Amino acid sequence: MQQLRTTIAVALFCSFFASTTLANAQEPPRMSQHGTVSQTITGTTITVEYDRPTARGRDLKGQDIIHFGRFWTPGANWATTVEVDGSFKVEGHELGAGKYSIWMIPGDDEWTVVFSEDDRVFHTRTPDQNKEAARFTVASVEGPEMDALTFYFPEVTGHRTTLNFHWGHFVVPIRFEVSPWPMAALTDEDLARYVGSYTDPRGNAVTVTNVGGVLEISGLSFLGGDSSQLIPKGHHTFNFGNVIDGELRGIWLPRFELAFVMENGDVSAIEMWGSGILRQTIPRN
């Protein structure tokens, strides 16, 4: 009995010690809690890191929470930063890969935005003017009320995206752009060579057409009756994707490929293969 009591006492002590250690390891909430948001466009990742103050019913402009007409970082504590892992353009200004702090001078209709290479600055100070990388103005727009200061990416198209700053009803959109994916151009001779009618092993008709200089394939069973554009990848090899106004918007099923089989300079068949799909040959009619 004494041994049982000792065992129970030790177990209770260990449980209390473990729960106390866990409680001590947990940080208390901050008034402006930390947040991050990121977006990848054409292999380049943009990451915003910031602390998020809340309005809590305050008049952001009237109570000078947002410093209109003065230098201000859109966040709290340490200055908000944007880190990009490749060269990029922001509102037309070319910048190299790296981490930048963001600063703003709010106005009634337009806000001045500054990207600074001085990326570790407390919000009550101003960055080194000699490290200013870009300065531009953008028109602010009115949005729905947002209690917590927020950054988000509402638009992503190909090699472009928009980063929105949003607090209260103030919204400031900032446009980013990276180099487009270098899509290989096909000659008229290549296009004519691939265009034609094919028949899959089940007897279904497969058609390749030239639509404004872009190959389009239809009739493939896994497309469910839809068509897809073919994006050049290598010698007679293609991915399935989407091109709008000559710009590649995206590759879908990147591990799924299609190739035109050449015999004596002419296309004799289509071959397809990919992850989880058996290699398939579709002869030309």
Nearest to 186 by CA among 142, 246, 145: 246
Answer yes or no: do 142 and 52 share one domain.
yes
Q: Mind listing the pLDDT tens digit for each residue in 49-100? A: 999 999 999 999 988 889 999 999 999 999 999 999 999 999 999 999 999 9
Answer yes or no: do 111 and 237 share one domain.
no
User: What is the helix (H) or strand (E) element at residue 272, kind and residue range?
Assistant: strand 266-274
Answer yes or no: do 62 and 165 share one domain.
yes
Residue 95 is assigned to a structural domain of this protein: yes
Question: Of 142, 177, 212, at which residue does a domain stop?
Answer: 177
Answer yes or no: do 130 and 263 share one domain.
no
Q: What are phi and psi of 235, to 5 degrees?
A: -65, 105
Beta-bridge mates of residue 104: 72, 113
Answer yes or no: do 126 and 211 share one domain.
no
Can you tell me the distance from the alpha carbon of 162 to that of 246, in angstroms, rounded to the nearest whole number? 21
pLDDT on residue 12:
46
Residue 5 is assigned to a structural domain of this protein: no
- Residue 208 in tokens: 């390749």
Nearest to 209 by CA among 183, 188, 191: 191
Q: Mind listing the pLDDT tens digit for each residue in 182-229? A: 777 788 898 999 999 999 988 999 999 999 889 999 998 877 778 899
State how many domains the chain has.
2
pLDDT on residue 10:
43
Above 60 in pLDDT, residue 8?
Answer: no
Structural domain of 48: 29-177
Answer yes or no: do 244 and 173 share one domain.
no
Model-level pTM? 0.75
Q: What is the CATH number of the domain that holds 224?
A: 2.40.128.50
Burial class (CB in 10 A: 0-12, 13-18, 19+), 165: buried
Answer yes or no: do 192 and 171 share one domain.
no
Q: What is the number of alpha carbons within 13 Å of residue 164 lying toward its C-beta?
A: 19
User: What is the helix (H) or strand (E) element at residue 95, kind and residue range?
Assistant: strand 93-95
Nearest to 133 by CA among 164, 87, 179: 87
Residue 10 is assigned to a structural domain of this protein: no
Answer yes or no: do 166 and 82 share one domain.
yes
Answer yes or no: do 218 and 173 share one domain.
no
Percentage with pLDDT > 70 across the chain = 91
Answer yes or no: do 160 and 227 share one domain.
no
Residue 139 is assigned to a structural domain of this protein: yes
Centroid of chain to Cα 122:
28
Residue 17 is assigned to a structural domain of this protein: no
Answer yes or no: do 173 and 210 share one domain.
no
Looking at residue 205, its amino acid is: A
Answer yes or no: do 93 and 118 share one domain.
yes
Q: What are phi and psi of 86, to 5 degrees?
A: -160, 170
